[in-house]
Amino acid sequence: MARPAAKADSPPFLSPYRHGFVRVAACVPQIALADPAANAERTLGMVAKGHDQGVAVMVFPELGLSGYSIDDLHQQDALLDAVEAAIGRLAEASARLSPLFVVGAPLRGEGRLFNTAVVIQGGEVLGVVPKTWLPNYREYYERRWFASGLGVEDGEIAVAGRTAPFGVDLLFRAVGPTAFTLHAEICEDIWTPTPPSTRGALAGAEILLNLSASNIVIGKADARRLLCASQSMRCIAAYLYSAAGVGESTTDTAWDGQASIFELGEVLAESGRFPTDDDWALSDIDVGRIRQERRRTGSFGDVVAYEDAVGDFRIVEYDWAPPAGPLALARKVDRFPFVPDDPALLAEQCYEAYNIQVQGLAQRLKATGLKKLVIGVSGGLDSTQALIVACRTMDRLGLPRENVLAWTLPGFATSDRTYDNAWKLMKALGVTGAELDIRPAARQMLADLDHPFGRGEPVYDVTFENVQAGLRTDYLFRLANQRGALVVGTGDLSELALGWCTYGVGDHMSHYNPNASVAKTLIQHLIRFVAGTGDLGPAAGPVLADILATEISPELVPAGADGQGQSTESFVGPYALQDFNLYHLTRYGAAPSKIAYLAHCAWSDSARGDWPADLPAPERRAYDLAEIKKWLRLFITRFFANQFKRSAVPNGPKISSGGALSPRSDWRMPSDARADAWLAELDANTPDSTVSG
């Protein structure tokens, strides 16, 4: 059944098809009961709309050409002849339309009547899949009319003057510049313990289709979502679901026309329910992500080998080429992938994050037999989060917060603002606060090194910076030795990814780091969350708000003549973008050009319409493609160059599905790996502007 691949140029940079996406639609047309000709015209109208919008795959409801609720009329030859004529009309018209579409129809074959999914594209009936599991309980009576497709394999069926492959052993594969594989099942199939789509997925189908005529009762819509979402997660696939709606008989049942699209357990799009006109759910499926997840999930491959499902299927290949021009991505891209947009979900995940951090630190403290914690407090984001966790750890263990020994360690560039905030926070939280000025020791060390600064020259190089960072950590460890305490780390996941930490005896090291897998953008939201709850008392709220509003800086180099101090993001890039890059590189293994494309979809000026109106100023910033590419290139370079730091990180709990960079957890790579292939892919496949793309 193989056919030659379609010949077409690669889609432009601003097309989702260029980056492994496939546009799909789950459709709910109005139904005219027992009028296949009218239903075919409705179907063609929606397929034409899909053609205009660059859709590759469209699925329609179960028995949509005849109507599901016509009961004994399914057995009437007049109706069945009209259904075949309608299929002929659809196949003929499909030669002028690009989408593959799947319609539901009662068809005669092998001396029986089957409830089928008819797959049409390019002027042909590519194949026909019969329903496997027929419901015959409560309001359902399908065995009265239809035969089960169980065991129907390697067959053919005559339909509309054509002969097409027939059976439950069919997969449909698009060949050409954008390749993907489909499997179709029908309604009740998904409600069974062994849905046919499971074996279809094991055999290689990334997109699973369900033609349904599920009637509606109270609460059933949520049950459908649960079934389809869990199937898409379990099968590491996309799942399209289309249920019959307006026009079906309401003699004894009702119909809501639910259409939904799921990917790896997530709802991407849903139609309105109880529509008064034709409706659909449309989205772009990330087939590249699905393939990545299957490759990295070893248990999925183990089941493939165990079930040996691949050889059980016939593959029908068909030519398909994506639209030539640019298309706007038809799905939402989270600008902050470590932070959920939904306020209720954000609150739930902030609660979980704090408790994971607290549980980890509490367990480590109990394991050591120690009762005290030592922490350096700078007045910045990371040490603030770690200090809050330290206080809650004491609360959980029934120990006084005075057992948190917090030290502010001012250096040559410590600002009045961060110094004051450090003290205000320590007092507000009720910890034992103290101060240790590192400048005398730093001057002595720089003089011992014969550094120009030790001779009074204003030379602020990396040695000048790291002497301060190293002394702070050295003092904290010695203070912990002296007081029988455990040193709490403060560095975060974003800094570790970028190598923005001083190796060894510096902020790289601690006895335990609860922030180790918390991205900078998530830390900002965690602090904002706890400030909003008021749990830390009235004095903490204002200081937390000011810490959140303070520019991120290591404060190691004194301000220049213009009064401007160090800005971390001017060196390593905006954390909003770099966290985005980190997530998509390590969590999904995405190619750099795809990361740049997704960042453009999320962060370009054209995406502003989706941004909440109450965003803080830094989160309202837009980035053009040139900036995105520049900072992504820097991220890749620094990420590879600093693996040696990640190979020797302290213990700390994994917080989110976005991953961790500990070699004992999510991330393992050699310290001497080269970034050349990633940088070459970025440069070769990402233009410098959207105009050239």
**Residue 611 pLDDT class (50, 70, 90 cuts):** low
Tell me the three state secondary structure of residue 401.
helix
- Does position 14 have pLDDT exceeding 80, yes or no? yes
Q: Looking at per-residue confidence, does 249 or 369 come out higher?
A: 369
pLDDT, mean over the chain: 92
Task: Dig out the tokens for 126 from the structure.
Answer: 């590519």
Q: Work out the angle between the directed axes of helices 540-549 and 381-397 (0-180°, nearest 10).
A: 150
Binding site listing? 137, 214, 220, 376-383, 466, 490, 495, 500-503, 645
Please pick, among 142, 185, 187, 465, the residue that the annotation labels catalytic: 187
- pLDDT tens per residue across span 244-275: 888 787 888 877 888 999 999 999 999 988 88
Contact 34, 184 (CB under 8 A): no
Out of 49, 62, 84, 627, the active site residue is 62
Please, which residues bridge with residue 166 across strands?
128, 155
Q: In the predicted model, is pLDDT for residue 8 greater than 70? A: no
Spatial contact of 628 and 576, defined as CB atoms under 8 Å apart = no
Catalytic residue list contains 187: yes
Catalytic residue flag (residue 7) = no
pLDDT by residue (tens digit) across 186-218?
998 999 999 999 999 999 999 999 999 977 788
Q: Which residues are annotated as a binding site for L-glutamine?
A: 137, 214, 220
pLDDT of residue 9: 67
Residues comprising the binding site for deamido-NAD(+)?
Answer: 466, 495, 500-503, 645
Question: Catalytic residue among 27, 49, 84, 131, which?
Answer: 131
3-state secondary structure of 220: helix
In DSSP notation, 308-346 reads T-GGG-EEEEEE----SS----SS---SSTTS-SSHHHH
SS3 of 666, please? coil
Q: Which residues define the annotated binding site for ATP?
A: 376-383, 490
Task: Please report the pLDDT score of residue 504 as a whole number.
Answer: 83
Contacts 24+ apart (CB under 8 A), 218-227: 221/256, 221/258, 221/273, 224/258, 224/260, 225/260, 225/267, 227/190, 227/191
- Determine the pLDDT at residue 561: 75
φ, ψ (nearest 5 deg) of residue 535: -65, -25
Residue 62 annotated to the active site: yes
Per-residue pLDDT reduced to its tens digit, 515-536: 999 999 999 999 998 988 888 8
Q: What is the mean pLDDT of residues 303-327?
A: 89
Q: What is the enclosing helix (H) or strand (E) of 595?
A: helix 592-603
- 550 vs 563, residue with greater confidence: 550
